[in-house]
Amino acid sequence: MEYEAVIGLEVHVQVKTHSKMFCGCKNEFGAPPNTHTCPVCLGMPGVLPTPNLEAVKKTVLTGLMLGCEINRICKFDRKSYFYPDMPKNYQISQYDQPLCLDGGVVLGKYAFPKDAQKDPIASAKKNVRLIRIHLEEDVAKSFHFETTSGIDFNRAGTPLMEIVTQADIASPEEAFAFLSTLQQTLSQARISDADMEKGQLRCDCNISVRPKGQLEFGTKCEIKNMNSISGVRRAVAYEITRQIQTISNGGKISQETRRWDDAAGQTYLMRTKEQAHDYRYFPDPDLMPMRTDLGLVESMKQQMPETPSMREERYMRDYALNDYDASVLSSDIDLSHYFEGVLNAAQGDRQKVAKAIANFIINDLLGLLGGADQTLADCKIMPEHFGGLVSCVDAGKISSKQAKEVFVEMFATGKEPSTIIQEKGMVQISDEGALESFAKQAIEANPKSVDDYRAGKMAALNALKGQAIKLSKGKANPQLIGEVLEKLLNA
């Protein structure tokens, strides 16, 4: 029997803010343990939470970027359970009135893993619908030593966004594409660095399988503890196989939470449904409900940055870039800014120049950066210089082949293109007198071609042009030398 997988994700994203969600402590990763704490985030007796407006705004912004509806009135609720990493033994979260509802993430072809981009689903522009996005506080971090445990409360109370999808995802590759698109969107808008390896983006996957064509869902398992997007792909793939095998062998899937071990490449049972918590949600009486319709949503709409997918479309529309180029250039905000900076500095036809810049970036620059183990921030090529180089080619001052050589030199030294062109003696000869002398030499040395031309064979002109350029040691401006030759032959 053929089976299909049904997958929904719950994604936790650390929101990049100056201070924590409900107190004034710094929201900073990597500080010595328990240095960013105060009575509020330690849950001392008598303290009260004060909501962080910056986190609320960033969550609203996320919602707007992902096409969500922003709840007009939302509130915070208490989610109760006991755990040492939770100072109050309840978490301030949002239950039935979250900040954002609905919305979705469209999976672009190049968000899929490289080896899956040829799959037709990658080109289908599938929309993974969201159920909600809500804001809550993160818990502390536990460390387990040989005989004792330690808790670092620096993370306790930092703002955390939870994004919940519909069960729209059908494969490990789609889960990968969803997370990489989300990661790009959030990091580009400076909402979160969303780095899974640093725990800034954490993902729980709800997975079930069912015979193909069956409407009813199978029993789901929740998978936790993936720490990279490719790890999610591996874990989902493993779990789908495990479930199909279990069912095929006559077994039953029981509803449970499983832990992914990336090194072993397996999931392990953590707890079954019988051990599930009753969180006893109720509205947090310490926090007033919030109105978002009194200017907050409007002001965030005005501040809404372009999403990677919006930018990709713009590049294709305005500069006629192909989908691959457009997606690579939109995948990283710094790269997009760099590309547009170069484009602004370059003279010439927009579309032609844009394509030339895209080629340089994708075919040359990214490789050079990779080879030198550098990021764009280290790149010595100033956008103005880059633009100047492209203008030179566009104006016919140097050939594209020469330009590649110049580009490598610019990358290594940061020098201006004109300096390198001069140093290398690459300047094209455009002086009419000089060109005439090369043209005359070519005419004298090739009487047969001259005759052919005069007999009406236009191809003979190209042969003469080649000769003249050769005589100039490749420095003659190809277009101008042609014109000079024609003038002399027709005289």
Q: Nearer to another protein by C-beta: 83 or 217?
A: 83
Of 88 and 126, nearer to another protein (C-beta) is: 88
Residues contacting residue 211 through CB under 8 Å, at least 6 positions apart = 1, 2, 3, 4
Nearest-approach distance from CB 157 to another protein, in angstroms? 13
Residues 6 or more apart whose Cβ sits within 8 Å of residue 206: 7, 8, 9, 10, 167, 220, 221, 222, 223
**Shortest distance, position 383 Cβ to another protein, whole Å:** 45
Residue 169 is encoded by which pair of tokens? Answer: 């995802």
Q: Name the DSSP class of 228.
A: S
Cβ 361 to another protein shortest distance, Å: 48
Question: Which positions from 133 through 152 interact with another protein, judged by CB under 8 A?
Answer: 151
Residue 454: how many CB atoms within 10 A of its CB?
11
- Indicate whether 87 belongs to the interface with another protein (CB under 8 A): yes
In the complex, least distance from residue 77 CB atom to another protein, rounded to whole angstroms: 10
Cβ 43 to another protein, closest distance in Å?
5
In the complex, the smallest distance separating the C-beta of residue 377 from another protein, rounded to whole angstroms, is 39
By CB under 8 A, residue 32 contacts another protein: no
Question: Between 90 and 315, whose beta carbon lies closer to another protein?
Answer: 90
SS3 call for 374: coil
Degrees (nearest 5) of the Cα angle 435, 437, 438? Answer: 65
- Strand, helix or coil at 39? coil
Shortest Cβ 22–another protein spacing (Å): 9
Q: Does 131 bind another protein (CB under 8 A)?
A: no
**What is the C-alpha to C-alpha distance for residues 8 and 127, in angstroms, rounded to an integer?**
13
**Candidate segments 37-45, 185-193, 198-206, 326-334, binder of another protein by CB under 8 A:** 37-45
Q: In this chain, which of 72, 198, 280, 337 binds another protein, going by CB under 8 A?
A: 280
Q: Is 305 in the site for another protein (CB under 8 A)?
A: no
SS3 282: strand
DSSP per position, 130-197? EEEEEEEE---EEEE-SS-EEEETTSTT-EEEEEEE-S-B-SHHHHHHHHHHHHHHHHHTTS----GG
Pairing of strands 221-224, 256-261: parallel
Min separation Cβ 73 and another protein, Å:
15
The smaller minimum CB distance to another protein, of residues 288 and 395, is found at: 288
Q: Min. distance of Cβ 211 from another protein in angstroms? A: 32
278 binds another protein (CB under 8 A): yes
Cβ–Cβ under 8 Å, residues 281 and 81: no
Q: What is the DSSP string of 9-38?
A: EEEEEE---SB-SSSSSB--TTPSTT-S--
In the complex with another protein, the residue whose CB is nearer, 30 or 46, is 46
Q: Residue from 2, 82, 215, 275 that binds another protein (CB under 8 A)?
A: 82
Q: Which of residues 149-178 bind another protein (CB under 8 A)?
A: 151
Cα 248 to its chain centre, rounded Å, is: 39
Query: Using CB under 8 A, which of the segments 100-108, 286-294, 381-389, 391-399 binds another protein?
Result: 286-294
User: What binding mask, one character per residue, do residues 43-62 give for another protein by CB under 8 A, x or -?
Assistant: xxxxxxxxx-----------
Minimum CB distance to another protein smaller for 274 or for 278: 278
Burial code (b: 16+ CB inside 10 Å, e: under 16) for 297-313 equals beebeeeebbbbbebbb
Task: Write the binding mask 339 to 368 for another protein: x where contact by CB under 8 A, - elsewhere.
Answer: ------------------------------
Sorted by sequence, the CB contacts under 8 Å of residue 263 that are 6+ apart come out as: none
**Considering beta carbons, is residue 89 or 374 the nearer one to another protein?**
89
**Amino acid occupying residue 292:** T
Using the minimum distance from each CB to another protein, give the nearer residue, 75 or 475.
75
Beta-bridged to residue 165, according to DSSP, are 130
- Within 13 Å, how many C-alpha atoms sit on residue 190's CB side? 8
Strands 159-165 and 3-14: antiparallel
Determine the interface stretch with another protein among 40-48, 311-319, 349-357, 387-395 (rule: CB under 8 A).
Answer: 40-48
Total binding residues for another protein by CB under 8 A? 29
Helix, strand, coil distribution of the chain in percent, nearest 5: 45, 20, 40
Binding-site member from 20, 88, 126, 202 for another protein (CB under 8 A): 88
The CB-of-144 to another protein minimum distance in angstroms stands at 11
Among 3, 28, 42, 437, binds another protein (CB under 8 A): 42
33 part of the interface to another protein, by CB under 8 A: no
Min dist. Cβ of residue 10 to another protein (A): 19
Q: How far is the CB of 55 from another protein (least distance, A)?
A: 14
Instruction: Return the amino acid letter for 325.
Output: D
**According to DSSP H, which parts of 280-382 are helical?**
296-302, 308-319, 323-330, 333-345, 350-359, 366-371
Q: Does 80 bind another protein (CB under 8 A)?
A: yes
Binding residues (CB under 8 A) for another protein: these are 39, 42-51, 78, 80, 82, 84, 87-90, 151, 278, 280-282, 284-288
